[in-house]
Amino acid sequence: MSVSPAPGRPAEDWWKSAVVYQVYVRSFADADGDGVGDLAGVRSRLPYLRDLGVDALWLTPFYRSPMVDGGYDVADYRDVDPVFGTLADFDHMITDAHALGLRIIVDIVPNHTSDAHPWFTAALASPPGSAERDRYLFRDGRGPGGDLPPNDWESIFGGPAWTRVPDGQWYLHLFDPAQPDLNWRHPEVRAEFEDVLRFWLDRGVDGFRIDVAHGMIKAEGLPDVGDGVPAGQRQVELLGRARLPYFDQDEVHDIYRAWRPILDSYPGGRMAVAEAWAETPQRLARYIGPDELHQAFNFDFLDATWSADSFRKVIDTALAEATIVGAPTTWVLSNHDKQRHVTRYGDGALGLRRARAAALMMLALPGSVYLYQGEELGLPEVLDLPDELRQDPAFRRTGESRDGCRVPLPWSGDVPPYGFGPAGAAPAWLPAPPTWRARSVTAQTGVPDSTLELYRAALRLRRDHPALPGDPAGAGDPAGAGGPAGAGGPAGAGGPAGAGGVRWRESEPGVLAFSRAAPAGAPELTCVVNFGDEPVTVRDYGTPILTSELLAGDADGTTLPTDTAGWFVRPVTG
């Protein structure tokens, strides 16, 4: 069964305002009881996701892999790893998802393979200069005997980006040594990935999340980064501020110009979203457009600190970028690589309160939203995992670990793993803390002030309210109907509806308020967020329809407490 488009939107444009739920497959639901999540587990929980109100799922890699980097080290791009199930499990899962109106986006990892990929094992078994080695980036070392790495590049996971093989050559790996970088100037590499795209498109996927989308092409000659890196910093810290010779090279766009016609040759709006980092918004914008990719993650929103100024700035920038690229932006607060935002915002009750407010802010903005599994439960980062259980390869090299945001979800029950697996299952691959008993799906279901019910209500309104959320080409957003995204750019307080129909409202310091334009006759919706230390009285925006905390009202208006957001509606006058 095909998936029907959002009301007022052609099927091809579904992604423009979609709410996409990121499933970190290893930690979502374990159907076979081995302690690791799997595709049958995803399938069993699809009704939960449909009822939550999301439009699509992004599944992190489930391909055959030695799991050195949680599956971002792929040994076979056309098969499911046995720990996650089989291709038949994938087919059942996607059939059920489509029947429930949910689209499926899969991760594609083109920058590197696993060192267990047959191409790499063949490269190791072949001599320097062989055709087999040419699919990767093998080089002779520098210095006497070639004992030094070929250049000064650093791995994102720490240490040099080169590893030496027994015959003396070195190979490049921007991530773990078990993730050798491919040579994207090699025609076989290009042909292979075009075929992999078709393989999954033929199985019905609705889109791809492209891992390290800015990394595939390296500068000719593999030049040193040099000494522009401030003392005490790692090269990766220059990401987004300076161009590194291994990221965001112009030729990478040739790859996407070849991929886009493949996506477009399938019906129903098959899309691609880039995990890309670039020096400037203008350079990031080059990844997006009718002849390249559909979207890129907007990590500035995730990186914003908890203040009105910080969020105002990133929202304005994102809306301006949407204008540059002619497509709505994306909003994301957490993912499998970053500390969960409850913890980033202060942890405990404070962090949760802010996270709930942030969710209402994000879900009122135009564009698409990427939720990370468990944020709808208000899960914090697990900070006290025993070191011996941590699996992130970066941990051994840098001491930093992403395991704390990857702890398996609590679904139900009183004892770990809280319904993650069936009764009698092996312990989950990472243990949930005892406090997660109260955070499980069943513990929060039907509890009016729970975070889960807040997300459910917000997603329902986002779908149903005429002023939300859409993009300028969508229904319910007259600000730019049919025209390019964000006509007019960011609006100042009291100005006309600007990018995506967002109109900033006059507000006191520490408070953000923006209205979403509604079609004639429909009520306007205003989102107000109080980042300040004191409660504020909110007037003129109408009646609250959803708030992240309980509000008090009096004759003067509504009191919005600190670290709280609310959605207000008022009939449009004049």
**Residues acting as catalytic residues:** 211, 275
User: Does residue 337 interact with ligand BGC by CB under 6 A?
Assistant: yes
Q: How far is the CB of 29 from ligand BGC (least distance, A)?
A: 20
Taking the alpha carbons at both ends of the chain, their separation in whole angstroms is 45
Q: What is the 3-state secondary structure (H, E, C) of 447-500?
A: CCCCHHHHHHHHHHHHHHCCCCCCCCCCCCCHHHCCCCCCCCCCCCCCCCCCHH
Q: How far is the CB of 496 from ligand BGC (least distance, A)?
A: 38
Q: How far is the CB of 109 from ligand BGC (least distance, A)?
A: 6
Binders of ligand BGC in range 317-336 (CB under 6 A): 336
23 vs 40: CA distance, rounded Å:
13
Q: How far is the CB of 382 from ligand BGC (least distance, A)?
A: 17
CA dist list (Å): 207 to 91, 184, 509: 15, 22, 41
Sign of CA dihedral 476, 369, 56, 199: positive
Q: How far is the CB of 284 from ligand BGC (least distance, A)?
A: 15
Each as own residue / partner, the long-range contacts of residues 80-84 (CB below 8 Å, 24 or more positions apart, any chain) are 80/39, 83/26, 83/34, 83/36, 83/38, 84/25, 84/26, 84/36, 84/37, 84/38, 84/39
Q: Which residue from 6, 49, 102, 212 is in contact with ligand BGC, where contact means CB under 6 A? A: 212
User: Does residue 211 interact with ligand BGC by CB under 6 A?
Assistant: yes
Q: Which is nearer to ligand BGC, 156 or 308 (CB)?
A: 156
Burial of 266 (0-12, 13-18, 19+ CB in 10 A): middle
Q: Which is nearer to ligand BGC, 115 or 211 (CB)?
A: 211
Sign of CA dihedral 81, 87, 88, 90: positive
Q: Which is nearer to ligand BGC, 175 or 436 (CB)?
A: 175
Q: How far is the CB of 275 from ligand BGC (least distance, A)?
A: 5
Q: How far is the CB of 142 from ligand BGC (least distance, A)?
A: 26
Q: Which is nearer to ligand BGC, 40 or 405 (CB)?
A: 405
Q: Which is nearer to ligand BGC, 239 or 513 (CB)?
A: 239
* Strand pairing report for 502-504 and 295-296: unpaired
In the DSSP assignment, the letter for residue 112 is B
Q: Which is nearer to ligand BGC, 292 or 403 (CB)?
A: 403
- Using CB positions, name the residue nearest to ligand BGC: 72
Are 39 and 421 within 8 A, CB to CB? Answer: no
CA dist list (Å): 418 to 128, 427, 436, 439: 52, 10, 8, 10
Distance of CA 244 to the CA centre of its chain: 23
The CB density around residue 224, as the number of other CB atoms within 10 Å, is 11
Are 324 and 428 within 8 A, CB to CB? Answer: no
User: Which H or E element spans position 355?
Assistant: helix 348-363
The CB density around residue 547, as the number of other CB atoms within 10 Å, is 20
195 vs 262: CA distance, rounded Å:
10
209 vs 489: CA distance, rounded Å:
27
Q: Which is nearer to ligand BGC, 178 or 473 (CB)?
A: 178
Distance of CA 574 to the CA centre of its chain: 40
416 vs 6: CA distance, rounded Å:
38
Burial of 100 (0-12, 13-18, 19+ CB in 10 A): middle
Q: In the stretch 402-441, what mask flags binding to ligand BGC with x, by CB under 6 A? A: ----------------------------------------
- Tell me, by CB under 6 A, how many residues bind ligand BGC: 9
Q: Which is nearer to ligand BGC, 26 or 354 (CB)?
A: 26
Q: How far is the CB of 336 from ligand BGC (least distance, A)?
A: 6
Q: Which is nearer to ligand BGC, 14 or 277 (CB)?
A: 277
Q: Which is nearer to ligand BGC, 336 or 341 (CB)?
A: 336
Where b means 16+ CB within 10 Å and e means fewer, 370-398 reads bbbbbbbbbbbbbeebeeeebbbbbbeeb
Q: How far is the CB of 340 from ligand BGC (least distance, A)?
A: 15
Q: In the stretch 137-176, what mask flags binding to ligand BGC with x, by CB under 6 A? A: --------------------------------------x-
User: Which H or E element spans position 96?
Assistant: helix 87-99
Binders of ligand BGC in range 61-80 (CB under 6 A): 69, 72
Q: How far is the CB of 313 from ligand BGC (least distance, A)?
A: 25
448 vs 550: CA distance, rounded Å:
11
Chain residues in the site for ligand BGC (CB under 6 A):
69, 72, 109, 175, 211-212, 275, 336-337
